[in-house]
Structure 1
Amino acid sequence: MKKLYCFIPTLLLLFSFTVFGQETQTKGLLPEGKSEKAKITITGKIIEKTSKLPLEYATITFKNTKNPKLIFGGITDSKGDYSIVVVSGIYDITLEFISFKPTTISQKQLTQSTNLGTIALEEDATQLNEVVVRAEKTTVEIKLDKKVYNVGQDMIVKGGTASDVLDNVPSVTVDADGNVALRGNDNVKILIDGRPSNAINIADALRTISADALDKIEVITNPSARYDAEGGGGIINILLKKGKNQGINGTLIGTVGNPQNYGLVSNINFKSEQFNLFSTLGYNDSKAPGKSKTDTDYLNPDGTIQKTINERSTRERGRKGFNYTIGMDWYLDKTLTWSNTFNYRKNNGANPDNVLLYNEFPDIADNFVRNRYNDQFTRTHDVEYATNFTKKFKKDGHKLTVDGSFSKNLDNDSSTITDFVIGQENLATKELTKNFQTQKRSLIQSDYVLPIGENSQFEAGYKGDFNELITDYNVGDIDGSGNYIPNLNYTNILDYKEKINAVYSQFGSKINKFSYLFGLRYEDSNIDIDLLTTNNFNNKKYNNFFPSAFFTYQLKEQSTISLNYSRRISRPRSRFINPFSNYSSNVNIFQGNPDINPSLTDAFDIGYMNKWDKVTFSTSMYFNRTNDVFQFIRRPNGESVTTIVDGVTIVTPVILSTPINLAREDRFGFEFNLNYTPYKWWKLNGNFNFFQSKINGDYSYTLQNTGEVINENFDNTAASWFTRVSSKITLPYKIDWQTNATYNAPQNNAQGKSLGVLSANLAFSKDILKDKATIALNVSDVFNSRKRISETHLATLNSYSEMQWRQRQINLSFTYRFNKLKNNDKDKKPKGNQQDDNGDFPG
């Protein structure tokens, strides 16, 4: 056991020493009489003795017998092959792999390039019977151009959803409504497996995808021209699990929780030399109790309180559903792969929402309470087929990919709303709302990568994204005879069509310690907005160039500085455009704005990263300038709700929340990320982000009932910050303990402010059954404090609101792995200046 504890760190130190010190050793420690010309190449292959399958990441070490300081080494690739440059001489050669017996070739004289042939390693039965200390991937990997969050290493999210996962990712925050923001900016593009999500409502969709189906999250704050220009704040790419190991293997994960959360997820994979078959099946039955409150003082012209409405809402979002993914990678030959994936997701939910409105009047004694009960049902079906061809050419990194994705989505929502004054139930009114949405989306994409020489690379590609969304929204009253009478103010059919064609090219190169990458993307947008009920049609055509430039300089072996620029766009989607309302409260409603325009952002970023033995540190300072920035405001819409209580007519104005365009926003900020391993049993990572936003702009609107034009100035400067710290400790008996804490600081806006919120998560896990299984207990939102808290101050009202989407959640999960070690998916390391897995030129 003691040898095992020492084996991994020693191996990693040896490999790091070899890789980073190879050039120095070769030049400074050559035996006398030898020169640079004495270098030779040693090749070979390592396989597993029993199965004859190649061993990826096996290590090969060459130790010169005459000069022990002269050490060379390397690792095998996915085919078990290796190629290592050494200086001619006599060596002791060691070949080894975790849990296998090492093989040593002693006193091997190497005078010319040699192939050592195929060597088979045998499993070490004594090691397999022990608890092996593995070199686990950290939860957060910090890279110069992005951060990679390894979902499987985070116990906190076991049994949770994709939304829970994102809320634990550095630089990312998820508010109480499920809206995702990156470095405080909610204009973020979310991709799934590199493709735009096919969900109609991405916030709701993230809450239906099991966290156990996710592999990694990539956070790209300043993307290059290869990526969609969509998303002024950056890109978040969610990578789903897909087996990589030979043979049949997989996992089965069961979850129970309180409040009610029953889940079962299975991931099964079969890989051979010709095929890789993979599938994921997940089922979930959950209820998420939540609550909100809004206290509003309506003001007279002289500033005195006319009346007060304290609104209390309790809801229980229930979901039953399953999702299924099946796919196949077909290796047509050594250079050509054809992949096909089919995804299906179905969810049904009952979301009862009970709203109590306490009406208080300073001048009269007839206070009363209204009860508004929203009995809501939802039904969602998502179907997607995706295909990919990848052609690899002879030169490493030279490849052509062609992708297609075709999906259809159905999202139906219906509610029956009963409204009455308590004590006057016989005068209750009933309203019916329906929101039926159907989306069809087609995506075609091709990318070409051409390495040029040893240190340069050219890329080019095309992408077509074609989307049609039909939203049929209805609000109406049900009279005493059960007849439906539509309310035309809130009833409409929106036919939204979007056609986006894009081409790009970029070129990158490395000159000594300096790297650069220049890119240019062109996107042509053609958008039809057709409000069928009101016969209001609008076509928006615009085309834009999106340049990008990235520069990096390697200060030292482990220290790098970068300077980046890119141009981004944020297009308003259906929720922003469609003038339908969230009608659970008829005095505080949300409504889209059909006239809203896209916003354009120029993003600058300067970053620094350094690695030490136990620490990885990165920091960046950024500046974004956005024209026609989106801003949500609250305002009276000129309508009112009339309530009769004991013969007295009470009139309450309707307050509208809606998005608008303002002239400009300048956003400045800095952040740092830290991975620190003070001891083998303790890992820490932290993220801190500070930003300041300055918004300039005026907005005018017309009250519907009076025709009065209201002009408002929204100039505002606000600063805020958030921080997240995660600690993972291995306790006695190999129990892992993880704690996350997040604090979002207060932030001012033109109409009020949001208040600070502190929240924490807790988890414990233990491997059992000889590491084939893991049992985990986690508590999400330990202090039940994760809320959206805000204040609004207008000339006509002052309000305070709190919204908690889900109360504290406790989950117990059991994971069983068959034919699969806990941490056998190691990171693939790029060689030389090739692409990484996502095509990024590393520089």
Structure 2
Amino acid sequence: MLKNITFVLFTLFSLNLASAQVIITGKVLESNANLPIEYATISVIDTNSKTPLTGTITAEDGTFSLKTNETNFYIEVSFMGYESKTIKQFDIVKNTINLKIITLSEDNQALDEVVIRAEKSSTEFKLDKRVFNVGADLSSTGASSLEVLNNLPSVNVNIEGEISLRGSQGVQILINGKPSVLASADGNALGSITADMIEKIEVITNPSAKYDAEGTSGIINIIIKKSEKRGINGSATLNFGVPNSNSFGLSVNKRTEKFNLFSQFGFGIRTYPNKTESINRDLVNDITVSSTGDGDFNEKFGNILIGTDYHINDYNIITLSGSYAYEIEDQDSKTNYNQTDETNTITDSWLRNELTEADNPKLRYELQYKKSFKRHADQSLLFSALGNSFRKDQFSDFENTFTLGDNEDFKQKTRTDYTLADYTFKLDYTHPFLEKFTLETGSQYVINSVSNDFAVSDLQDGTYVNNPDLTNVFDFDQNVLGLYTTAAYEGDVWGLKLGFRLEHTNLSTLLQTTNESNGNDYTNLFPSIHTSYKISDDFSIQAGYSKRIRRPGLRELNPFSNIRNNFSIFTGNPDLQPEFTDSYEITSINKLGKASLNFSLYNRYTVDVVERISTFENNVSISTPENVGTNTTTGFEANGKYAPTNWFSFNGDFNINYFSRKGVFEATDFDFKGNQWSASLTTKFKLPADFDLEVSGDYQSKFKTVQSEIADNLFADLGLRKKILKGKVILNLSIRDAFASRINKTTTSQSDFYLFNSRQRGRFVTFGVSYGFGKGEAMQFSGQR
């Protein structure tokens, strides 16, 4: 009897124990910075069938809690992009399993596999722009933003980091729709924006009234991702090159719940070789002065950028950033000159040596406030203030040593004290309503202040004496106030955007030594209209009109220039007026399977066209910018991208335009017609062993200006990249102008004189090693100025 009672009690106790709920708790952290992982999956797996029994996900702080009645199980913790962890050994204390802290490590291989399959770069067609969404096929390469831009149709980045759109320079570069420290013209900051930081790039060939009316080449707007990565992320790059292209770059990002701290640091040494050739021929007196020269432009630079995004809450963000750079330049050149008479006999020969040194401190700083609204995701208020200061202290020594002729040796010195201060204030408000309508309004105020103190001294009787004819101080001050409003309707098939921009410009210049002042005060209206029509998912058409302005800069206005070549002088014109352009454009985009094609027809009518006019006297050519009549340009552009296989793709661009120039300057008729075309092709190969090969070629045809002819150019660039250690390290080899065929030649043929100028940089070979740490991908630091 007692045994039976004992057996019953034991059975009841066992059943009760089996049916008792077990509580499983713990906290999941990522291994790098011990930060919590939200939405990690906690699964209870049956030991025999290997099937999930129950589960949960982690909270924002990484904690979790779940209950189970099962007895034969194990626990699995997983999160996309991290290595899963299986837990089979655990203790049950008072019906509770406390797993405490569980750390997960990144699975870089898994991340690569998922991203490459899921994210392909794609093109969208908006009302007044083309949008390139940067997918993993670009962002996983470790490329800088300059390399990404160079792969976009219509966009080209040359060897010095200068960006052109459809063959024209003067492109405005914006970051998140506004001027930024990161978009400085230096190239370093922009080059340190990596492809994985970019969400999309907007290419605007015919800007609406929302944007600054300055420039006719268009706008490139780089949209930075709102990164959710937390902890410390970063990348470091070491470059070596021939000629000198040695640099080190470091980028570090620290993200917390409220702050995103970012910093970039770089230093390096670069050399730009320079080969020149010139001919000045007096056709009246049959006297020719020719020269050939070699020189090197060397620079040592260091720069640092630091900033922070402070997320006040989900709808308010403040950004504060600044950058400082210091450059030390030296330039040396040796140029051989020969003067010949009508019998082609050399009458004079001399060697001109130049040694130039300069220090350039630069400072840029930015404050931005952005407010979002609950009622609509695209409703926003943005205020930004950007400041920029630059100084150049430059000294040059010139020496002429004669080896033939009756002239005596002589020496000259120049001194340049150059200061610049720019300030840009912007206020933009975007208000969507009725689902498909958007109203934009805002203002911009730009202040430019420049002073150029230039002095020339000649050695006379052992003493350097100031040359008053070549010495002066030139001050340039320009303020531009702009107000705009646009209204847009964007439906599923058809859209229309209208805009008006009013800009008031106040410009003043002063030659202090001679007390000569010039002023220009004008107000202009810049309308724009854009429309688009979606014929199908694979074919759309866009049309647009905008009015643009190009204001002359300091170098075009300053009547003084350097004396590097005494026989070929460029000088500015304080009376120069701005150019105004009416720009019309029709563009189509076609998607044909694995190919995308874009075709554009455009027309630009420009008044007060600025052209360099050369005059000739005593074997010296003086080139001065002048407003010369009108110009009508009609062009066609086609560009496309095709990826027939996973290992091969190519994209190309073709642009041709015909222009008609009409104008009269100082009783000389400058009416003429001409054409210009260019073509580029870039091919990419995915090779075995994770090698990527890129080959690109460019051709630019010859074309005419008012007095001159610019020679054609054909050149090619090569690139080879390899990822190792699951993409954390990237090896990169690039060859710019592989065949050293890029030579800039200009020929001027007039009735009484002939001019020829040639300039060549040569081949650049660079090898780089990049390493990404934390959650950062390896990036390629450009190492440019």
1:508 aligns with 2:488: yes
Aligned twin of 1:451: 432
Residues of 2 paired with 1:241 and 1:324: CA distance? 22
8 Å CA contact 1:675–1:683 kept in 2: the answer is yes
Cα distance, 1:246 vs. partner?
A: 2.1
1:407 aligns with 2:388: yes
- Report Cα offsets for 1:253-272 as digits up to 9, x if no partner: 11000111111111110112
8 Å CA contact 2:583–2:602 kept in 1: the answer is yes
1:511-550 pair list within 5 angstroms:
511-550=491-530
- Structure 2 residue corresponding to 1:420, chosen from 401, 405, 418: 401
Cα distance, 1:126 vs. partner?
A: 10
Greater radius of gyration (CA) = 2
Residues 326/185 of structure 1: CA separation in 2 closer, same or farther (3 Å cut): same
Cα distance, 1:124 vs. partner?
A: 8.8
Aligned twin of 1:562: 542
Aligned twin of 1:171: 154
Residues 235/727 of structure 1: CA separation in 2 closer, same or farther (3 Å cut): same
8 Å CA contact 1:751–1:793 kept in 2: the answer is yes
Cα distance, 1:206 vs. partner?
A: 3.8
Cα distance, 1:448 vs. partner?
A: 0.6
Aligned twin of 2:116: 134
Q: Which secondary structure does the structure 1 equivalent of 2:229 belong to?
A: coil
Residues 458/441 of structure 1: CA separation in 2 closer, same or farther (3 Å cut): same
- Structure 1 residue corresponding to 2:773, chosen from 806, 811, 818: 818
Aligned twin of 2:291: 311
Q: 1:411 is matched by which residue type in structure 2?
A: K
Aligned twin of 2:258: 274
Residues 179/328 of structure 1: CA separation in 2 closer, same or farther (3 Å cut): closer
8 Å CA contact 1:136–1:823 kept in 2: the answer is no
- Structure 1 residue corresponding to 2:687, chosen from 724, 728, 731: 731
1:745-760 pair list within 5 angstroms:
745-760=701-716
Cα distance, 1:633 vs. partner?
A: 2.4
8 Å CA contact 2:180–2:386 kept in 1: the answer is no
- Report Cα offsets for 1:296-346 as digits up to 9, x if no partner: 33202xxxx712222112110101011111000000111110110111111
1:483 aligns with 2:464: yes
State the aligned residue count: 692
Cα distance, 1:450 vs. partner?
A: 0.7
8 Å CA contact 2:728–2:778 kept in 1: the answer is no
8 Å CA contact 2:485–2:499 kept in 1: the answer is yes
Give structure 1 stretches of 5+ with no counterpart: 1-46, 59-77, 81-94, 103-119, 641-652, 701-710, 825-843
Give structure 2 stretches of 5+ with no counterpart: 1-26, 42-59, 63-77, 86-101, 780-785
1:248-259 pair list within 5 angstroms:
248-259=232-243
Aligned twin of 1:577: 557
Residues of 1 paired with 2:84 and 2:542: CA distance? 43
Question: Please, what TM-score do these two structures have when normalized by structure 1?
Answer: 0.76
Aligned twin of 1:376: 356
Which segment is superposed worse, 165-174 or 533-542?
165-174
Aligned twin of 1:287: 271
Residues 498/188 of structure 1: CA separation in 2 closer, same or farther (3 Å cut): same
Cα distance, 1:779 vs. partner?
A: 0.7
Residues of 2 paired with 1:469 and 1:803: CA distance? 29
1:598-677 pair list within 5 angstroms:
598-636=578-616, 638=617, 640=618, 653-677=619-643
Q: Which secondary structure does the structure 1 equivalent of 2:679 belong to?
A: strand
**Relative contact order: is structure 1 or structure 2 higher (C-alpha 8 Å, sep ≥ 6)?**
2
Aligned twin of 1:592: 572
8 Å CA contact 1:175–1:788 kept in 2: the answer is no
Question: Please, what TM-score do these two structures have when normalized by structure 2?
Answer: 0.81
Aligned twin of 2:455: 474
Q: 1:280 is matched by which residue type in structure 2?
A: Q
8 Å CA contact 1:571–1:598 kept in 2: the answer is yes
Cα distance, 1:749 vs. partner?
A: 2.5
8 Å CA contact 1:55–1:79 kept in 2: the answer is no
Cα distance, 1:142 vs. partner?
A: 6.8
- Structure 2 residue corresponding to 1:464, chosen from 438, 442, 445: 445
1:790 aligns with 2:746: yes
Which segment is superposed worse, 755-764 or 206-215?
206-215
8 Å CA contact 1:265–1:283 kept in 2: the answer is yes
Cα distance, 1:673 vs. partner?
A: 1.9
1:722 aligns with 2:704: no
- Structure 2 residue corresponding to 1:348, chosen from 324, 328, 331: 328
Q: Which secondary structure does the structure 2 equivalent of 1:589 belong to?
A: strand
Residues of 1 paired with 2:112 and 2:170: CA distance? 49
Percent identity of equivalent pairs: 27
Residues 289/239 of structure 1: CA separation in 2 closer, same or farther (3 Å cut): farther
Q: For the aligned residues, what is the CA RMSD?
A: 3.6
Aligned twin of 2:370: 390
Q: 1:717 is matched by which residue type in structure 2?
A: K
Cα distance, 1:295 vs. partner?
A: 2.7
Q: Which secondary structure does the structure 1 equivalent of 2:463 belong to?
A: coil
Cα distance, 1:137 vs. partner?
A: 6.7
Residues 447/571 of structure 1: CA separation in 2 closer, same or farther (3 Å cut): same
Residues of 2 paired with 1:125 and 1:165: CA distance? 26
Cα distance, 1:567 vs. partner?
A: 0.8
Q: Which secondary structure does the structure 2 equivalent of 1:367 belong to?
A: strand
1:42-121 pair list within 5 angstroms:
52-53=36-37, 97=80
Aligned twin of 2:54: none
Cα distance, 1:558 vs. partner?
A: 2.8
Residues 151/785 of structure 1: CA separation in 2 closer, same or farther (3 Å cut): farther
Q: Which secondary structure does the structure 1 equivalent of 2:469 belong to?
A: helix
Which segment is superposed worse, 460-469 or 290-299?
290-299
Q: Which secondary structure does the structure 1 equivalent of 2:628 belong to?
A: strand
Q: 1:760 is matched by which residue type in structure 2?
A: A
Residues of 2 paired with 1:570 and 1:334: CA distance? 40
Residues 124/150 of structure 1: CA separation in 2 closer, same or farther (3 Å cut): closer
Residues of 2 paired with 1:149 and 1:258: CA distance? 34
8 Å CA contact 2:303–2:325 kept in 1: the answer is yes
